C-alpha cells in the first residue's frame, strides 16, 4: 500500500518556499495516496527556546501551521493531520534508530552543520539526532513517498540508509516475526515541480528561509496584499529583459527564481511562463507576478486568519488526527519491538 508522510516545523513564519516546495504539493497528492501530514513540534525544540520562541509561541505556531495545511486545501477528514508529540511512537522508534544510525552518517548532514554553526559543542544532542527522528516519523507509518523541498533530500537518503540497515541487522528476526524479507520500505523522495528550492528575494544564491533576518527576503503566508506587492517590486533582478527559453535563465539566479515562483503559482512550467513573458522587462513581469501571487495567496491568508480565530477547532482536528495516526503507528511499533526482542 502506498502511503505519503510529510512534516513541517512550527518555527517562525511559514513562507512561500514552504508553500510551493511542500504544502501545495501535499494538497496535490491527496487524490492519489493515503496521506499523513504532521506538524513536527518535537523537531522544533532542537534549538534554544530563544530561537523557537518558547512554549506559548510553539503552541501558537503549531496551530498556525495546522491552519495553513487546512487553508491550502488539505482535507483532514479524508487524510490525517496531527502534531508529532501526540503520538509517542515517533520518539520510541527514534530511539531504536539512534542505535541503528552511525555517528559518521549524522556528522555528514549539512543541515546540522549549518544550524550548529561554529560552536558545535554547544549544539543540543537533539539537533544532532534530528534526522533519526525524521526517519522514525516516516517509517513508523511505513510511508513509501515523502514530498519535500530540495533541502530535505539528504535527510531522506539517510532515512533509506537507516531502513536498509535495520532490515539487514534484524533480517532473521524480521523473517521469523513477519515472514517477509524486510520490515521497512525504502522511501521515495517526491521532489517535484518548478519550485523545489525557492530562493531569497534579496539574494538569488541563498535559500528563502524562516531565519533570514530580512523580512524582504521572503513572502510569508500571512503577508497582506500590499506587503506581497512591495516585496515583489523590491525583489532583486538583473538589467536584462526575460529570455524566451529556459536555457536563457542559466547564470541569472534571480530571474530563474521569479520565473519558477510564477510557474509554481500558476500550475505551469518555466518554459510556458517564458513563452508568454520572453522579451518583457522585469517591471511588466513583476506586475503580473504581483497579481498572480495576491490572487493565490490572499485567500489562504484569509482562511488561516479565520481558522486560527477558533483554536478549539484546530485542537480537535489535531487530536482526531493523532488518534488515527496512532492507530497506524502502534501495530508497526509493536512489530518493531518483537523484531528487536523487547518483551511485552
Ligand atoms: P521545514 O519545516 O524546514 O520545511 C517544511 C517544508 O518546506 C520545504 N522548504 C522549501 N521548499 C522550497 N524552497 C524553500 N526555500 C524551502 N524551505 C523549506 C522543506 O523542504 C520542507 O519540505 N525536517 C523537515 C521537517 C520534517 C519532515 C519529517 C519532512 C520532520 N520530519 C518527515 C518530511 C518527512 C524540516 O525541517 O522542514
pLDDT band at 13 (very low <50, low <70, confident <90, very high): confident
Out of 24, 142, 207, 286, which one is annotated catalytic? 207
What is the tens place of the pLDDT at every residue in 323-335? Answer: 999 999 999 999 9
ipTM greater than cut 0.90: yes
- Separation of alpha carbons 22 and 10, rounded Å: 14
Q: Cα dist. 61→141, 223, 314 in Å?
A: 25, 15, 12
224 has a pLDDT exceeding 90: yes
Please tell me what DSSP assigns to residue 84. Answer: G
pLDDT band at 199 (very low <50, low <70, confident <90, very high): very high
Q: Cα dist. 289→192, 220, 265, 274 in Å?
A: 21, 16, 9, 13
Q: Give the CB-side neighbour count of residue 244, counting CA atoms within 13 A.
A: 2
Out of 115, 165, 296, 337, which one is annotated catalytic? 115
Confirm whether residue 185 is marked as ligand binding: no
Q: Is the CB of 80 under 6 A from ligand 1?
A: no
Cell numbers for 193: 515541480
Q: How many CB atoms lie within 10 A of CB 78?
A: 10
As a whole number, mean pLDDT of residues 315-343 equals 98
Q: Is the CB of 156 under 6 A from ligand 1?
A: no
As a whole number, mean pLDDT of residues 215-238 equals 97
Angle between helices 125-139 and 89-98 (to 10 degrees): 110
Length of the chain: 344
pLDDT band at 230 (very low <50, low <70, confident <90, very high): very high
For a pocket test of ligand 1, which of 151, 191, 195 has the largest count of ligand atoms closer than 8 A to its C-beta?
Answer: 151
The mean pLDDT value of the chain amounts to: 97
Q: Is the CB of 200 under 6 A from ligand 1?
A: no
Rounded CA Rg of the chain: 21
Confirm whether residue 149 is marked as ligand binding: yes
Q: Give the pLDDT score at 158.
A: 98
Better-predicted residue by pLDDT, 119 or 128: 128
Are β-strands 145-147 and 188-190 bridged in parallel, bridged antiparallel, or unpaired?
Answer: parallel
Indicate the range of 123-127, 209-213, 235-239 predicted with least confidence. Answer: 209-213
For the chain, list the domains and their CATH numbers: 3-196+310-340 (3.40.50.620), 215-306 (1.10.240.10)
Q: Find the helix or strand (DSSP H, E) in which 189 lies.
A: strand 188-190
71 has a pLDDT exceeding 90: yes
1 has a pLDDT exceeding 80: no
Q: Give the pLDDT score at 167.
A: 98
Tell me if residue 296 is catalytic: no
* Distinct helix (H) and strand (E) counts, the chain: 16, 5
125 has a pLDDT exceeding 80: yes
Tell me if residue 210 is catalytic: yes
| Residue tagged 503520538 (cell numbers) | 87
Q: Give the pLDDT score at 54.
A: 96
Out of 153, 210, 236, 337, which one is annotated catalytic? 210
Confirm whether residue 51 is marked as ligand binding: no
Please state the pTM of the whole predicted model: 0.97
67 has a pLDDT exceeding 80: yes
Q: Give the pLDDT score at 256.
A: 98
As a whole number, mean pLDDT of residues 233-245 equals 97
130 has a pLDDT exceeding 80: yes
pLDDT band at 341 (very low <50, low <70, confident <90, very high): very high
12 has a pLDDT exceeding 90: no
- Of 283, 296, 273, 311, nearest to 219 by C-alpha is 296
Q: Is the CB of 293 under 6 A from ligand 1?
A: no
As a whole number, mean pLDDT of residues 25-49 equals 97
Q: Do residues 139 and 159 lie in contact, with contact meaning Cβ atoms separated by under 8 Å?
A: yes
- Separation of alpha carbons 145 and 187, rounded Å: 6
Q: Is the CB of 83 under 6 A from ligand 1?
A: no
Amino acid at each position: 500500500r502506498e502511503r505519503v508522510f510529510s512534516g513541517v516545523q512550527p518555527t517562525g513564519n511559514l513562507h512561500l518556499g514552504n508553500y510551493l516546495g511542500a504544502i501545495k504539493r501535499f494538497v496535490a497528492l491527496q487524490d492519489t495516496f493515503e496521506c499523513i501530514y504532521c506538524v513536527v513540534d518535537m523537531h522544533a525544540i532542537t534549538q534554544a527556546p530563544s530561537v523557537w520562541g518558547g512554549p506559548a509561541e510553539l503552541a501558537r505556531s503549531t496551530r498556525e501551521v495546522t491552519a495553513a495545511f487546512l487553508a491550502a486545501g488539505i482535507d483532514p477528514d479524508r487524510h490525517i493531520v496531527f502534531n508529532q508529540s501526540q503520538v509517542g511512537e515517533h520518539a520510541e522508534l527514534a530511539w531504536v534508530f539512534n542505535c541503528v544510525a552511525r555517528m559518521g552518517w549524522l556528522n555528514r548532514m549539512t543541515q546540522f552543520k549549518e544550524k550548529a554553526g561554529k560552536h558545535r559543542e554547544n549544539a543540543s544532542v537533539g539537533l544532532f539526532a534530528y534526522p533519526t527522528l525524521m526517519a522514525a516519523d516516516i517509517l513508523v507509518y511505513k510511508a513509501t513517498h515523502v514530498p519535500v523541498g530540495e533541502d530535505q533530500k539528504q535527510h531522506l537518503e539517510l532515512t533509506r540508509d537507516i531502513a536498509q540497515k535495520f532490515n539487514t541487522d534484524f533480517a532473521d528476526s524480521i523473517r521469523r516475526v513477519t515472514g517477509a524479507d524486510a520490515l521497512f520500505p525504502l522511501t521515495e523522495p517526491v521532489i517535484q515541480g518548478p519550485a523545489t528550492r525557492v530562493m531569497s528575494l534579496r539574494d538569488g544564491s541563498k535559500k528563502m528561509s524562516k531565519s533570514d533576518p530580512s523580512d524582504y527576503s521572503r513572502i510569508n503566508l500571512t503577508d497582506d496584499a500590499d506587503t506581497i506587492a512591495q516585496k515583489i517590486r523590491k525583489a532583486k533582478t538583473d538589467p536584462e529583459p526575460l529570455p524566451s527559453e529556459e536555457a536563457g535563465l542559466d547564470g541569472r539566479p534571480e530571474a530563474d527564481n521569479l520565473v519558477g515562483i510564477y510557474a509554481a503559482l500558476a500550475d505551469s512550467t518555466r518554459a510556458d511562463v517564458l513563452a508568454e513573458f520572453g522579451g518583457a522587462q522585469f517591471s511588466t513581469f513583476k506586475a503580473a507576478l504581483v497579481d498572480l501571487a495576491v490572487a493565490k495567496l490572499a485567500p489562504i491568508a484569509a482562511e488561516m486568519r479565520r481558522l486560527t480565530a477558533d483554536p478549539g477547532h484546530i485542537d480537535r482536528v489535531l487530536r482526531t488526527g493523532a488518534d488515527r495516526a496512532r492507530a497506524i503507528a502502534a501495530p508497526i511499533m509493536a512489530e518493531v519491538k518483537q523484531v528487536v526482542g523487547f518483551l511485552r
